[in-house]
Amino acid sequence: MTLSESEPQPNAARSIHLSVMPDEIVQYACEIHPRVVVDGTFGGGGHSRLILQRFDDYRDNTPDVSWNSLSIVALDRDPAVSQRAESIPLDPRIDLYLGSYESTPIALKSAGFPAADAIILDLGLSSDQLADRDRGFSFNSDGELDLRFDPESGIPAHQWLMRHDEKAIADAIYQFGEERYSRRIAREIIARARSKRPVRTVSEMVDICRRCVPRSKNHDIHPATRTFQALRIAVNQELDILTRTMQQVADWLAPGGRILVLSFHSLEDRIVKNAFRQEDRLEVLTKKPLRPTDQEIQHNPRSRSAKLRIAQRRDAES
């Protein structure tokens, strides 16, 4: 059976996000018959909804039901996710918490669970965030250059640029965005600031990138893509949070529990791969990351760069 989100679902009526690699996520999360699942990046709730659907199908169609209960502890940094949940009630088996997946142990304790049987982290940017013209994630927006997942925490990207010098900006764009023309971009950002025209909006940042980054031959990548990725990572401290989480995640898993991580660029994937290898309590189930099928990429082009890595906590005696 293929799990598809092409049809609208009741609890996602206000979300336009398509979950990436849903079949693979559900297969690996559900084959161990988890009783507590942490969805650390809830977003539109697609992965959680499909896991509950698989549980209901199993319960209804299996005479000897060994998997008889399921709870999902969900987290997300974006307040808009909580607002959607308030307007469209969630499945009662889902407990939603506002916060980073780094807060998983706090959420588990609050929900009354000592550990999780499966933890799912989808590190990609949600289509709902891209569609919000006030957040600055979309290149087509003329709004403020914000880029924060939680608009009530930290500083927006345009303020981050004002607080850093040319070298720091160039280093961040190069390190987090792997942008070859980072120094050109940083130089232009600082030049604008010195002329009393600091970058403040999305369109101003996009214009700088268009002038500093030569058009690629295949035209597949927007000239602002890598810079916006870098600024988003810097503003939200994404790699720091991911690194700390991967260092602790084995503590949050019950024996036999699984951690599933969807990453979308090499920096994230490298952190996950190395953390899996370095943690003796984890057995790596994916020697090479799983990739989306051609069919999924055609249906959801934003899945094309996804990599899924999975590890399982060893039994205490192993």
Binding residues: 45-47, 76, 101, 122, 129
The binding site for S-adenosyl-L-methionine comprises 45-47, 76, 101, 122, 129
Helix/strand number for the chain, H first, E second: 13, 7
CA 273 to each of CA 19, 81, 282: distance values in angstroms, whole numbers, following the listed order: 22, 29, 12
**Is 314 within 8 Å of 272 (Cβ atoms)?**
no
Q: To 5 degrees, how large is the angle CA 232–CA 74–CA 111? A: 135
Tell me the C-alpha distance between 135 and 202, whole Å.
9
Cβ count near 9 (within 10 Å) = 14
Cα–Cα distance, 19 to 24 (Å, whole number): 11
Give the Cα separation of 125 and 138 in Å (integer): 11
Nearest to 80 by CA among 142, 155, 131: 131
Task: Give, as one character, the DSSP assignment of residue 102.
Answer: G
Q: What is the 3-state secondary structure (H, E, C) of 98-164?
A: ECCHHHHHHHHHHHCCCCEEEEEEECCCCHHHHHCCCCCCCCCCCCECCCCCCCCCCCCHHHHHHCC
